[in-house]
Amino acid sequence: MTASEAAELIHDGDNIAIGGFTPNGDPKAVFRELSKRAVREHEAGHPFKVGIFSGASSCQSIEGDMALAHAIKFRAPFSTNKDFREHVNLEEIEYEDMHLGHMAERLRHGVYGTMDWLIIEASDIVEGTDECRLSLTSAGGIATTAARLARRIIIELNHFHSPLSRMLHDTFEPGECGFGRQPIPIIHVLDRIGKDYVSIDPKKIVCVVECNIPEEARQFKALTPTTEQMGNNVAEFLVADMKAGRIPPQFLPIQSGVGATGNAVLAAMGKNHHIPSFEVYSEVVQDAAIDLIERGLVKAASATAMTVTNEALHHVYDNIDFFAKHLVIRQSEIANSPEVIRRLGSIAINTAIECDIYGNENSSHICASRLMNGIGGSCDYERNGYVSIFTTPSTAKDGKISAIVPFCSHIDSTEHDVDVIVTEQGVADLRGKGPLHRAHEIIENCAHPDYRPLLREYLRIAEKGHTPHNLRAAFAMHDTFERKGDMRLTDFGEYIG
């Protein structure tokens, strides 16, 4: 079928599960037609909105164009798309921002109702009478579970990918809770415990759409002195922890989040001569990780997606025999499993929008109300990691916003799940410290010098207690930014009289 014929099969109100994870490995051809169809339906006065369920964020052709077409009724579990966020913040789309590691289980438990469709990208299909074996492309996501649960399946056979992509995959679905569920038997980063394909009931396959479409991968922002310094600070902190005997000499697997900062942190670790070659157990590998694998600085990597540029992806395909020995792509339920993260002792490194002086962290909302992206897999890793690190530049928007605030305007990882905060200014190690000790550490080591006097003043006006706060002034810096456009203009006197 053509992509537009396939798009005609979808009905208003349908729930669509998709393959892929981040902008990589997503089906693109049918959604490019579906968003056009939604516009036509709306012009003709017909309602047309669908639910979209995935492993993580997706690409412009899916959540961006469908949001612009006013065609998303519900979306979970993550997004990094500007158009999508705009329509969520207009209260047009219901979006559940949730842990990526829980998504497959929620689908199994029917939390989102029936999945009318799975639209999935493949690099190859091996047909059989009882089973079709589908080779995934650059991501694992929720493919195995969604293929089993969806009523009907559309496969995009995308020749942009190498059919050999299959060599990277390990698909495994855990048993059901309450029925003697077995442990997930991953002991080492590269352990393979499942199949290298997704098994599909041929009766469910409605059509195959052939295409040749590059990934809609983002280009990474170039390293800046700030991101490089944050990367160096993380690397030096980890070296000191290794010297102190808290991290064993063979090191522990690293998890590094999405975005420019995550990429910069990994690049800085690769440059630090005191860090031995290490392993990665993460939800995504970005370009920096691919480079480090090739240079032998990363010995083994496990992820649920290659969130890489098209150049890096083809480099992997061209050298698949090498990369298949060093990289495995899993289902997100396994990559983000608390059990496995805890067993391996992953060091979690994710990016915050803001942290407060007691260590609470916000990675999803701007000034409380407005969605940025979401939590993604950050809490899966931060809650269960061996050491839980959040990085953030100390300021945003040319210094008008401090990333260290008295109280986070939205909280994703609580102070109990945050061990270390790193900015370009320095490192606050919060382990073994009470709230006031933490506050001094964060203000003096991580806040930008422009904001340290304000944050010290906040502590002075806070009511005495275990975690001192002043309820009238806790959001004064945010409020001042909203009213005057610069947090540096905060006058706590205006709030406490």
Question: What is the DSSP secondary structure assignment for residue 475, as one 8-state letter?
Answer: T
CB of residue 170 vs ligand 0RQ: minimum separation in angstroms? Answer: 18
283 is catalytic: yes
Single out the residue of 253, 257, 270, 359 in contact with ligand 0RQ (rule: CB under 6 A): 257
Toward ligand 0RQ, which CB reaches closer, 17 or 153? 17
Give the count of beta carbons closer than 10 Å to the beta carbon of residue 221. Answer: 12
The CA distance from 62 to 80, in Å, is 12
Stretch that binds ligand 0RQ, among 235-243, 287-295, 368-376, 444-452 (CB under 6 A): 368-376
Please report which residue ranges of 310-363 form alpha helices under DSSP H: 310-318, 320-326, 332-335, 338-344
301, 282 contact by CB (below 8 A):
yes
Stretch that binds ligand 0RQ, among 7-15, 36-44, 173-181, 347-355 (CB under 6 A): 347-355
Pick the catalytic residue from 121, 156, 173, 283: 283
- Cα dihedral value 308, 310, 311, 313, nearest 10: 60
Count of residues for the chain? Answer: 497
Stretch that binds ligand 0RQ, among 7-15, 199-207, 255-263, 485-493 (CB under 6 A): 255-263
The alpha carbon of residue 382 and the mean position of all alpha carbons in its chain are separated, in whole angstroms, by 12
Question: What would the x/- binding string for ligand 0RQ be over residues 53 to 92, using CB under 6 A?
Answer: ---x---------------------x-x------------
- Beta-ladder partners of 411: none
What tokens does 358 get? 């007691």
Q: Which residue has the tokens 């909203």?
A: 482
What tokens does 428 get? 């606050």
CB of residue 80 vs ligand 0RQ: minimum separation in angstroms? Answer: 6
Residue 261 touches ligand 0RQ, criterion: CB under 6 A: yes
What tokens does 277 get? 């070659």
Single out the residue of 366, 427, 442, 443 in contact with ligand 0RQ (rule: CB under 6 A): 366
Single out the residue of 401, 421, 447, 476 in contact with ligand 0RQ (rule: CB under 6 A): 401
Residues whose CB falls within 8 Å of the CB of residue 387, separated by 6 or more in sequence, listed in order: 238, 241, 246, 247, 347, 348, 419, 420
Three-class SS of residue 404? strand
Single out the residue of 39, 98, 211, 372 in contact with ligand 0RQ (rule: CB under 6 A): 372
CB of residue 310 vs ligand 0RQ: minimum separation in angstroms? Answer: 18
Residue 375 touches ligand 0RQ, criterion: CB under 6 A: yes
Query: Which parts of 84-143 interact with ligand 0RQ (CB under 6 A)?
Result: 100
Burial class (CB in 10 A: 0-12, 13-18, 19+), 495: middle
CB of residue 226 vs ligand 0RQ: minimum separation in angstroms? Answer: 8
The CA distance from 37 to 47, in Å, is 11
The alpha carbon of residue 150 and the mean position of all alpha carbons in its chain are separated, in whole angstroms, by 24
Residue 397 touches ligand 0RQ, criterion: CB under 6 A: yes
CB of residue 303 vs ligand 0RQ: minimum separation in angstroms? Answer: 9
Longest C-alpha distance within the chain, in Å?
77
The CA distance from 378 to 380, in Å, is 6
**CA distances for 184 relative to 104, 187, 341, 342, angstroms:** 15, 9, 11, 12
Toward ligand 0RQ, which CB reaches closer, 23 or 174? 23
Toward ligand 0RQ, which CB reaches closer, 2 or 224? 224
Toward ligand 0RQ, which CB reaches closer, 144 or 392? 392
Toward ligand 0RQ, which CB reaches closer, 144 or 364? 364
Residue 157 touches ligand 0RQ, criterion: CB under 6 A: no
Residue 333 touches ligand 0RQ, criterion: CB under 6 A: no
Question: What is the DSSP secondary structure assignment for residue 246, as one 8-state letter?
Answer: S
Kindly state the number of chain residues that form the binding site for ligand 0RQ, as judged by CB under 6 A. Answer: 29
Helix then strand then coil, in percent of the chain rounded to 5, is 35, 20, 45
Single out the residue of 140, 359, 377, 468 in contact with ligand 0RQ (rule: CB under 6 A): 377
Stretch that binds ligand 0RQ, among 174-182, 252-260, 316-324, 441-449 (CB under 6 A): 252-260
- Beta-ladder partners of 390: 350, 421
Catalytic residues: 283
Note the residues at the interface with ligand 0RQ (CB under 6 A): 22, 56, 78, 80, 100, 257-261, 283-284, 350-351, 353-354, 363, 366, 372-373, 375-378, 393, 396-397, 401, 403
